[in-house]
Amino acid sequence: MDPVLPGGITADALDDFYAECDEHLKAIRAGLIRLESTGTGRPDEGTVQALNRSTHSLKGICAIVGLRDAEASAHSMEDAFRLMTKGLITPGSDLVDALLGAATHVERVVAGFRSGKPAQPAPEVHERLKSLLPSREGEAARAGAPARKAAPPAEAAGPSGPGLYVAVFSPSKELTKRGINLDVIKERLSGVGAIVESRPVVKGPGAVQFRVTVALKAPLGSLASWADSGVTFERQHPPPAAEEDNAELAGLTPSRIVRVDLGKLDELMRIAGEMVIHRSRLEERLRQDGALEGARETLLGLGRSLREMREAISSARMVPVGEIFDRIPYLVRDMARATDKKARVALEGNQTEIDKFLVERLREPVLHLVRNCFAHGVEPAAERTAAGKPAEALILLRASSAADSVFIQVSDDGRGVEADTVFTRAAALGLPVPEDSDPKSLLDVLCTPGFSSRDTADMSAGRGIGMTVVAAAARELGGSLSMRTSRGKGTEFTLRLPLSISICDAVVLGVGGAKFTMNKGAIHEIVQAEPSAVRSVRSTELVPYREGMLPLVRLRAALAMAPSSAPKLVVVVAGTSRGPVGFVADSVVAQREIVVRPLSDPFLRVPGIAGVTELGDGRPVLVLDPETLNAAQAARPALAT
């Protein structure tokens, strides 16, 4: 029997609780971002009502589980939305900040409950939100009065009681002469509270500040004496997203759509894959032995059932890429508010569906790409205005799919990547510098372990460290990372990800006496061409195709085989990101259902090969990847036939 938790909820029912919390928190964050865009004007009534419903539901389910701290935060948020409905307050930036901080605190409480490591109470979150709302008495007195903007909390007067504060210490030569340094300040702060965190902030060439977060337990005494020691105080707001804390992107539940344990789906997919292999072996044996027609009919029925099971399992594993994208606007908003930059996020292709396996592994790479665009691509508002650009930069996330590949693009309209600057920095770090300055060589340097464009780290980090993570993730998933950049116009990173493991329909091709397969979904058609029709333009072979010309990739040459003298060219026309490409094979052997297994060993991975399969005879057969095969051939001259 399942153990029973507070409120009568069973352990097995907790997954539903986490999923509901995740959905409500996502809705609250998205609604708050929409509200902030209205400024001090009258908020959209539908949005406020939706927010009120979400917080009310969130409060209720947190109360059932016994998470009183989360329940209190949700209750405070509900009060704010109720006042907005009455027109007593408007969603200014300070209030939205406080509400987002309360939502983040709820998420941390729930995440701590799930991990068995309870989050610390955060009374300052409640205090900040409470200070922005009118009292019950004041609310009654103002009923019917015009809406007003919530007043920001008074910080200029300094700390007024217990809570989290940031002591900002600005060292100087004069203070050093008086024996006042960071250690002295920390020791003094330890006498009035507990130091939570200390970090340096570079303010310019040779200038640095230290921000010491302290939980005050005793009065500070004279603020003037602290100021005389180079220390000022700020009230601690809920911290923005940190690179090492990806709670904003991770969510509370593995998925808001797939609530079946992913391990069970993996096991089903494995079984389906084994059944496909057994079917192939049975078909091969029947072909060799000439078995009864009834057995062949049974085989056809087995094939239909396998196809239906495969499609059902694949469909169950598919989730929209919006699971990754939805929280990016909130992340960029926090980064923008901490700098002198302005940026907005545009999302395209949110409903593009990808395998859950990819969603779980793409969160961190996408986070790094967005941070990279904001930190290095987006210029300060004044710089953009001086360059004739809008003060607010645009960061675009786009998802799309083509054949057996998924493309995720992250771009900005900022300053672009300057090759000379990157190469100079790489040389200074003792890293190899390529001779060419093409985008691929430039990207290779940015992704080199140990490269960073900055001497000090901050929330966004420098180019190199984060990019190394992205490139490694792409390689691990059997995909690729590419970049396009233009000075003064922006940079675009593209993640291309093939299906890492899948059952799919494929065409078996004969090339040089060996068999290869290609995903049928990538193939447009198969045609024949005369060798005399082939033309060569700038080392690229072309053949007439419909009303234009089709670039060719000879598979024999690409696979380092001897050239062919066949009287006809068998051209497999496949789609790639650069358009249709004709892959020249010797023959088309058959159409089969195959199980694609990735080549995870880096010593076995070759550009142009997506994985390996078996056709029933026990021999491994390589699966061709049209995208990377074409890209690899584009970099070398065409070989003679």
Contact 442, 483 (CB under 8 A): yes
CA distances from 211 to 153, 156, 173, 205, 245 (A): 20, 17, 18, 18, 19
Mean pLDDT of 120-142: 68
Distances (CA, A) of 474 to 398, 454, 500, 528, 587: 17, 24, 11, 36, 33
pLDDT at 603: 64
Place of tokens 């989730």: 319
Mean pLDDT of 496-524: 82
- Residue 491 has a CB neighbour count (10 Å cut-off) of 23
**CA distances from residue 188 to 174, 179, 217, 230, 235 in whole angstroms, order as listed:** 19, 13, 13, 13, 18
Tell me: pLDDT of 396 over 90.
Answer: yes
Contacts 24+ apart (CB under 8 A), 518-521: 518/572, 518/574, 518/583, 518/623, 518/624, 518/626, 519/403, 519/404, 519/596, 519/610, 519/623, 520/591, 521/403, 521/404
With cut-offs at 50, 70 and 90, classify the pLDDT of residue 274.
confident
Give me 639's structure tokens. Answer: 């070989």
User: Which pair of structure tokens corresponds to residue 57?
Assistant: 């539901």
Token code pair at residue 425: 């920095």
Residue 207 has pLDDT above 80, yes or no: no
Q: pLDDT category, 478, cuts 50, 70, 90?
A: low
What pLDDT sits at residue 151? 39
Q: Which of 106, 105, 103, 102 is nearest to 131 (CA)?
A: 102
Question: Dihedrals φ, ψ of 290, to 5°?
Answer: 60, 55
- Looking at residue 551, its pLDDT comes to 93
The pLDDT tens digits for 9-55 are: 555 567 778 878 888 888 888 888 888 776 656 778 888 888 888 88
512-537: pLDDT as tens digits? 989 999 988 789 999 999 999 999 98
pLDDT at 627 exceeding the cut of 60: yes
CB 483 within 8 A of CB 579: no
Beta bridge partners of 528: 570
pLDDT interval class at 489 (50, 70, 90): very high
Q: Which of 475, 462, 450, 259 is nearest to 361 (CA)?
A: 475
Sheet architecture: strand order including 207-216: 193-204, 207-216, 163-169, 231-235
Q: Look up residue 470 and give its DSSP letter.
A: H
Convert the pLDDT of each residue in 383-393 to its tens digit. Answer: 999 999 999 99
Count, residues in the chain: 641
pLDDT for the residue 543:
94
The pLDDT, as a whole number, for residue 501 is 53
Residues above pLDDT 70, as percent of the chain: 78
Residue of 520, 522, 525, 641 lying closest to 586 (CA atoms): 641
**Helical packing angle, 45-65 and 68-86, nearest 10°:** 160
Most confident of 160-169, 250-259, 277-286, 579-588: 579-588
Per-residue confidence (pLDDT) for residue 224, from 0 to 100: 77
Residue-level pLDDT at 1 = 42
Within a 13 Å sphere around the CA of 389, how many CA atoms are in the beta-carbon half? 22
pLDDT score, position 348: 92
CA–CA separation, 604 vs 620, rounded Å?
Answer: 13
* Cα torsion through 218, 222, 225, 229, rounded to 10: 40
- Could you report the per-residue pLDDT of 324-374, keeping only the tens digit for each? 887 788 788 878 877 889 999 999 988 888 877 777 778 888 988 998 899
Question: What radius of gyration do the chain's Cα atoms show?
Answer: 30
Whether 136 has a pLDDT exceeding 70, the answer reads no
Q: Which helix (H) or strand (E) holds 587?
A: strand 587-596
Q: How many helices and strands (H and E) does the chain possess?
A: 21, 24
Name the DSSP class of 377.
I
Position 599 confidence tier, pLDDT thresholds 50, 70, 90: confident
pLDDT band at 585 (very low <50, low <70, confident <90, very high): very high
pTM for the full predicted model: 0.56
Question: Which residues neighbour 586 within 8 Å (Cβ) at sequence distance 6 or greater?
Answer: 509, 510, 511, 512, 556, 564, 566, 570
- Tokens for 433, please give them: 């510098």
What average pLDDT does range 603-619 have in this prediction? 78
Question: What is the per-residue pLDDT for 294?
Answer: 58
Rounded Cα gap, residues 612 and 234, in angstroms: 59
By the 8 A CB rule, do 377 and 335 touch? no
User: Higher-confidence residue: 260 or 471?
Assistant: 471
Whether 619 and 598 have beta carbons less than 8 Å apart is answered as no
φ, ψ of residue 620 in degrees (nearest 5): -70, 140
- Quote the pLDDT of residue 235: 64
Give residue-wise pLDDT tens across range 254-272.
444 445 656 666 777 777 7
Q: Which pLDDT belongs to residue 18? A: 82
**What DSSP character marks residue 36?**
H
Q: Is 252 exposed, middle or buried (0-12, 13-18, 19+ CB in 10 A)?
A: buried
Q: Which of 80, 94, 26 is nearest to 52 (CA)?
A: 80
Residues 6+ apart with CB under 8 A from 624: 509, 516, 517, 518, 555, 583, 608, 609, 610
**What is the rounded average pLDDT for all residues in the chain?**
77
Amino acid identity, residue 510? G
For 474, the 3-state DSSP assignment is helix
Res. 195: pLDDT tops 80: no
Spatial neighbors of 382 by CB under 8 A, at least 6 apart, are 340, 391
Rounded Cα distance, 189 and 194, in Å: 8
What is residue 181's predicted lDDT score, i.e. its pLDDT?
87
Between 112 and 300, name the one with better pLDDT: 112
pLDDT band of residue 2 (cuts 50, 70, 90) is: very low
Percent of the residues in the chain that have a pLDDT greater than 90, as a whole number: 16
List 567's β-bridge partners, or say none.
none
pLDDT at 408: 92
Of residues 379 and 226, more confidence is placed in 379
Q: Please check whether residue 428 is in contact with residue 417, taking contact to mean a CB–CB distance below 8 angstroms.
A: no
